Chains A and B, each alone.
Chain A
């Protein structure tokens, strides 16, 4: 719903800027979806007088005007048919910013133009774009248009929640704001003249569907003069995006926007037999609406009819057969209320969505109908003249009684954990229009205003209180303590789970170890890991220290399993290792240690049985490190002496060692009684968790254009490492290379002994364009040239 700030200020004296009001609205539960500043444009527009107009020699449509801007005569080229010498017009001078474009000095078909004459639409005054805007002849050239038109307004587009139909109008919002900002509220208090005659002699109501039509009032005005609405009325409607039609229809719309209650006006002459019926539709009955669309009615629909025809779909839309026209003299003002779900069903079934239906289907108030009728008549008398007919017809079968709701301040405190004094509760609720009915020691009883059907229980009132108190003024409880590190907790599990998926069995060993294990692993005397945490009373010499490494226990597990005939093993343990620290206690760090031996995969029919190799375990380590969200680590030859020389790797990040892996030295294996090839890794979990890592991967846009794949196969000396070759390819391949995958390595037949053949699969992709063959060929050429230069490769 659109809300005009200027209009709002007719009812409440507020002086807030747009931002501040937006904030107040939002935190009172009225969400502001958009804010539009109107009329800023007019401050840049100048009143000018056209002194002369000549046809443009180069164009049939353009004219050359000399205009007086109050200071000088300017030449302006204009394309409108209605520009005439002597007219006062709206000039956008050079430099004016019309939002969509800026006015510049221009040459139009060879003629200079120093500005633009504007239409009403261009100025945001109306939708009129038929020619330029002709101003009142009394306007003074040189003055700003804003001196004459006060168009400055802020329009808020607000979202009203379905429980608050009372806010679907400007006074409803004003009422909420007045409660929120403690400002007094001026509600319209329409007063009607006594009128003449007696409506009962002119019109009869017959409510034949009291279940669907809960109230129906009618007032009449005779001898109205249908015509254009006065400026203020037009302006009010247009500001919130509603079209002006005529003075009577505009007033009904105005009152709907003002009080929230939709109204309808009928031409009295077109209502047959001076009788209005409220009845259900009949099967087979048809109805043609104001838009000239015909609908089939049924008994679910509530219609407004005269004895001969349907004159409106109740609360949804009127009919052309009884609408206000220029010939209309006497009018009937309908102000009624209809059962919300009946309106909703009809509106949905027939796909007629009107402002009126939107409001009625949210359950309007019966009581409001009379006020809206009175206000509507008051304004019609003002804008369209005529004479009020005395009295009001009113079919109101079941007048709503007083609704009372009890609230206990103790309960308020319990729900909100704020102590609000009973007087304050009373002030809050009274500011919303509730009336204190009875006050007792522990409770208060309030009468609910008719327009707040959403307030039926104590908890509803508590919600109103906290809305006014301010949700965020409640002191936040500080009860939740951060004790655990969820990231590490989760990540440890992720790593374990991944290893399980990769076929690893988890082992759990005691934390005691034998110092001799470190000798077996050839860990040097000076190594940190030799700063043992030694037990004073161990179970025995093999359990003399807290283990500084996990590997020996796992190797013992490997041996015992091999002895039981299990020769293909993937084992890991995730546990603490210990070493002396400078403090009183020990340095305890979680490590993840694993050993792999035997076949690569479980033996299955149709699957080749292959031994594990170095790259299998390297893949596992790469997987672990990436699950731990480590990126761009550095690989160095390992300094661990328990790996076979030249087959161990250490992993570093900013010179911190975070992991190692390799093929275990055969003698080390034998010292544990193992005669088969074993590979092991040791991941320093806690050391990695101390590193800065990107815990949540950030989404990267997927290339819109199809990637291009190219294979590159060549023979190269074995002295060059793949990492180095990759780097060269990446550096010479340009920005479009998105992936380099080593596809194959081949040594042996047909390849010289000191050489090997490598095949890389390269992916080129771009987020900007489709890569054509020329671009790819150029990149490939570059890559090959560089490889040839650096490594003397031979292409295959």
Chain B
């Protein structure tokens, strides 16, 4: 019987090793190891043997089963590997075809610049303050120490809603509103939409401005210069220096206009900066004591600086946009360039 079993196992082993498909292996498995298989048949024939030989032979049958199982398993792995190798060969991708994308939109370049400025100041401990676009004359002019007969109040410069209600001409009234309600120390920026009665190739009647205000003990022109330099360098690059020169604003004293090194030519002179090497960036100064008095801040104890810049202008400089009208044209071929 042992010989018989041995022959059976040899035959099975040969068939298993020649099986070409997984399906064939499955059939062989049931044929040789299934319930009614020949190998199992040997177990049933144990009774034919003398009692003493039964355990020994039982063991031999089980070993045969284990051997066949191992063979089946290894053959199965071999077949799977072969199948996979074939699969690999038949799968050939043209890797040069473009990826299938979902159209990504874009934030308007003004918004992108606006956010960059906000983030820069948020990181420096500033908060972002907001105020109404439709403003009263008091906050837009009076509280900012602007005399009644100042030319900026003219209809040709300012949009009016009523006699004493107007569209804010700068975001400075937000500063006034914050100072009215908040004790120093104050560190804010006020980005927002501003309006002036001007409409030509270089002026939009709606535009965007950001102003910064710092009020605390010991704030000086030195702090202002530090901040202006940092601001310009963060937005335009480490080479960009800022200079300030005397100017006049009713709400700051001393007042200054600030220029930065032209980011295009880095100061050597080009068409953008009209060969001067400098670009005007905005206005700045030390908060006028009169403004503090109007909003009820002790101007002896506290000092402050403020400065303001045009967001649109910064956006144009950063992205190299030459025509202001593109900003409000909302042509998607233009917008998608800034993705």
A residues in contact (CB < 8 Å) with B: 479, 481-484, 489, 493, 496-497, 499-512, 533-539, 543, 546, 557, 560-561, 564, 566, 569-571, 575-576, 578, 584-586, 588, 601-602, 604-607
Contacts and interface: CB of A to CB of B under 8 A. Distances in A.
Interface of B is mostly: loop
Contacts, number: 143
A130 B182 CA distance: 75
A642 to B, nearest CB: 20
B104 to A, nearest CB: 6
Q: Which of B102, B186, B327 lies at the interface centre, i.e. has the most chain A CB atoms within 10 A of its CB?
A: B102
B135 A557 contact: no
A605 B104 CA distance: 17
A561 B134 contact: no
B115 A493 contact: yes
B132 A585 contact: yes
B195 to A, nearest CB: 7
A605 B330 contact: no
Interface in B72-131: 97-98, 100-108, 110-111, 115, 127-130
A510 B159 CA distance: 14
A585 B167 CA distance: 10
B133 to A, nearest CB: 6
Contact of B183 (A481, A501, A533, A576): A481
B103 A508 contact: no
A483 B127 contact: yes
Given A481-B183, A604-B100, A536 B333 contact: no
Given A504-B105, A586-B134, 20 more contacts: A481-B185, A482-B127, A483-B182, A496-B111, A502-B105, A505-B105, A506-B335, A507-B330, A507-B335, A508-B327, A509-B328, A509-B330, A510-B328, A536-B162, A537-B159, A538-B159, A586-B132, A601-B102, A604-B98, A604-B101
B336 interface: yes
Interface in B192-218: 193, 195, 197, 199, 204-206
Nearest to B155: A537
B160 A536 contact: yes
Contacts of B107: 496-497, 500, 506
A218 B321 CA distance: 87
Contacts of A566: 332-333
A539 B197 contact: yes
Interface in B3-49: none
Given A534-B161, A535-B159, A503 B136 contact: no
A777 B31 CA distance: 40
B204 A571 contact: no
Contacts of A605: 97-98, 100
A500 B159 contact: no
B50 interface: no
A533 B161 contact: yes
Contacts of B134: 533, 546, 578, 585-586, 588
A535 B204 contact: no
B314 interface: no
12 contacts: A481-B183, A482-B127, A483-B178, A483-B182, A500-B106, A505-B335, A511-B133, A533-B134, A536-B159, A538-B159, A601-B103, A605-B97
Given A489-B128, A503-B102, A510-B328, A537 B108 contact: no
A585 B136 contact: yes
B149 interface: no
Contacts of B273: none
Interface string B153-185: 001000111100101000000000010001101
B128 A539 contact: no
Contacts of A604: 98, 100-101
Nearest to A502: B105
Contacts of B332: 505, 561, 566, 569, 571
B331 interface: yes
B215 to A, nearest CB: 10
Contacts of A584: 136, 165
B104 A503 contact: yes
Q: 5 shortest A-B CB distances, which residue pairs? A: A602-B103, A507-B330, A586-B134, A504-B105, A503-B103
B103 A501 contact: no
B322 to A, nearest CB: 18
Contacts of B188: 483
A586 B135 CA distance: 8
Interface string B305-320: 0000000000000000
Contact of B205 (A479, A504, A512, A607): A512
Nearest to A607: B100
